[in-house]
Copies of this chain bind each other. A is one copy, B any other.
């Protein structure tokens, strides 16, 4: 472990990436906030606002809730382990699980809105690439949440199995995050294609496209933060070590 730490602290490569850290955190928060602002303007000013009335304004609840939950909150929650790597692991886990619960709840509201809108209008449900990807993504997110609870909160199963599952949880966390961004981009394209005049790039279309680009950039920065070992929690605070110590108490 010590050798790994020393390895990490030496070498140009690591130092360069570590020096990027403050910029990466500021950039991720800035692009997340920018996406939130653009999304809010897009939905409220350009798509006509939100209202739970079974009409177009209820449809608008869908993109608003889905982007906030599956991309913005999800992106924050998965970055937490890196951003707060010097805080107590249990506190960070609690924050991660809480934010993901809020995200999942918001996602179900967003899904209800679009299903109710379709049903009211007599439109078919769940036929497009966007809907297939979206349902797959939210289902995986829900499964991932339940597995996370079972393994890391309720702590069923032995430490070895928890360690195995942690790798899978982290892998699928990234996959689900990427799928959420992809699904939103498909959804924006679909919405603007349905609305018509997409080819003339009216303000609603330009803003939608720019929102998509900002979501991609947010995704890339979060991906950089969560995949680079330089930003890992120092091994001394390792969950599994901490658990073993507690179990030996």
Contacts and interface: CB of A to CB of B under 8 A. Distances in A.
Nearest to A182: B182
B209 A132 contact: yes
Interface string A177-214: 01101100110111011100011110001001100110
A174 to B, nearest CB: 8
Interface in A51-107: none
Copies of this chain, complex-wide, total 2
A86 to B, nearest CB: 23
Contacts of A130: 189
B127 A220 contact: no
Contact of A127 (B17, B188, B205): B205
B185 A216 contact: no
A175 interface: yes
Contacts of A193: 128, 190, 193-194
B185 A16 contact: no
Contacts of A127: 198-201, 205
A129 interface: yes
Nearest to A211: B129
A160 B12 contact: yes
Interface in A1-56: 3, 11-13, 16-17
A156 interface: no
Given A133-B185, A189-B129, A199 B124 contact: yes
B164 A16 contact: yes
Contacts of A194: 193
Contacts of A199: 123-124, 127-128
Contacts of A13: 160, 163-164, 167
Interface of A: 3, 11-13, 16-17, 123-124, 127-130, 132-133, 136, 160-161, 163-164, 167, 171, 174-175, 178-179, 181-182, 185-186, 188-190, 192-194, 198-201, 205, 208-209, 212-213, 216, 220, 223-224, 227-228
29 contacts: A3-B3, A11-B160, A11-B163, A12-B160, A12-B163, A13-B164, A16-B164, A123-B199, A124-B201, A127-B199, A127-B201, A128-B192, A128-B198, A129-B188, A129-B189, A129-B212, A132-B209, A132-B213, A167-B228, A171-B223, A171-B227, A174-B223, A178-B178, A179-B216, A181-B182, A185-B186, A186-B186, A189-B190, A227-B227
